[in-house]
Amino acid sequence: MPLIHLLPKLEKDFSAFEFMPATEFRWSPDEMTIYYDEQVHDDPTLLHELAHAILDHKDYLKDIGLIELERDAWEYAHSTLAPRYGIVIEEAIVQDSLDTYRDWLHARSTCPQCGATGLQIKKSDYKCIACSTLWHVNDARFCALRRYIKK
């Protein structure tokens, strides 16, 4: 079922949320809006974004919390939404997506000075437990980490 068929159904069934075309897939809790990449037919990711919305995913305090929200959203999309709309979400898609977040977390938490693993002390700050170096990381949003291959 291509996106063009799925989307009107989701808009009808979940009218509490806005669905807006964009250049990426993203859930915005502040705007109650699911953005979707209109150039890509990616039903699994669309359902994943909807899962963030239904599960009321908002902010997270630590980077590790973002990975938990990502995992929960995939789980809900896989077990609840996909069967309802007759869509198959391959386990490999889920694992690839979560791997992206694990790589991202690893990159953020690695000390730029000595390579040890740092502790996240604030939303955008890490501190090395080995050499006490402090470093700053940028904000990350839901799902914006994924890079899509345009079809």
Query: Which of the residues 47 through 106 are near Zn ion (CB under 5 A)?
Result: 70, 73
CA distance 65 to 69: 6
Both tokens assigned to 148: 């899509």
127 secondary structure, DSSP code: E
- Name the residue nearer to Zn ion (CB basis): 10 or 128: 128
For Zn ion, which stretch binds (CB under 5 A), given 13-21, 32-40, 98-106, 130-138?
130-138
Among 46, 47, 82, 128, binds Zn ion (CB under 5 A): 128
Both tokens assigned to 122: 């604030």
> Residue 47 Cβ, how far from Zn ion at the closest point, in Å?
11
Which residues on adjacent β-strands are paired with residue 117? 110
Both tokens assigned to 44: 């699994």
Q: For binding to Zn ion (CB under 5 A), which residues are involved? A: 70, 73, 111, 113-114, 116, 128, 130-131, 133, 142-143
